[in-house]
Structure 1
């Protein structure tokens, strides 16, 4: 078998894409594998849904990131709705893992990746890049987000509201994800590089790794102390994203949440008075 060519990188894009700062909230939902297999086959026929102790895994991944370009800077928000999957026929290369082991980064093959079903994004350039470079099913979206910040109140609480983005206006609220993580003890985990799968218009499957250069903070939500701390609410089941959320995840309890926040790189401190001169 001859080597495969690399996917093209069309102008004006460049790879790798470097993030100036990254803030993420993720939530993982173990669910019935049968509906997941059906939805995955519609989007990525060359992939197989992974199972952890008989359950498939659906993942939501919110990102707020900053990037510096030659002509300025950009701020982007997006959310990926994915199924954890691997290339069909690669079963014999995968270790047998529980969800907690997978969440800790024990799969060093990196074949267990996120097969994106829907991606909403508020930056038109990032929408175009995701489609052109990684075959992401990426569409315009709008977000309202509250998250931990060194410039805000103490705590580790998140609330993400996701809306569709029609030609004008704010669109319809599709779902919201709330995570009250204050007081819970996270475990530092190394899961990067994270493999993201896409399927292009010619049916070819792409695998693109994303490296995060610091550990994630993973929260075990099966701990009784974490019960009810993370919730997903589907507000509109009519758009494709809302329909698939209601179809696959509605009523499921999350098994884990994970966060990543870039550290500050500078701080502007409090001023002081100079003594008045006579």
Structure 2
């Protein structure tokens, strides 16, 4: 009896250990789940567990997390789409920064110029991460009258070479984005009031704003919570696209600045949420 129980316990231990040993990082696992979901329109717990070599309980937890981010809707035995899938793309991986900064540079420059015109004299301004935000920092740098809060080391260096007062949030540096993340950054924002914050996004659809990084997303939410007015900078290549982390629904946005007018479901959702859309030219 003792040997039988020992063998059974050993098998159970090996089963649990295999799940943990073979488990890929959660962010990558979530991306694989979403990729399968976008391809098939439905994902089952059993098939995902087999594909990713993890337990059904792990997949259930993953689906719950993705459901809370608005990326899918849980069903018995799996998950289905939130709204129609047509025209929707999912970006599983964050492109290299140097690649992104060259992409649609003229459009981002026009968006940055339009965004800068919204910044009033003497305002406190939050700038988060992203290439559109860096373009905005280039425009704002010569001004002397601003107080700028940022978790973007590139933006901090750019603004510090100018004339405004710049505050860098504390925390852990995420490379290669050079963003500052973590509870210290979030706590710093909770103790300040900002007139406006400018948020960069990786995707925008009728259900909200998205970003590649869960860690950056937490700081973006803290920026939004600290601000009187939230401005999103988003070129049209990101329309009807989703990334891993859902930042917020559209009703958390005051103004969207882009270079091409949104159409269809996205335009209707922005209007229903009361978002002012500025078209940069």
TM (norm. structure 2) is 0.22
Greater percentage in strand? 1
Greater percentage in helix? 2
Larger Rg: 2
TM (norm. structure 1) is 0.22
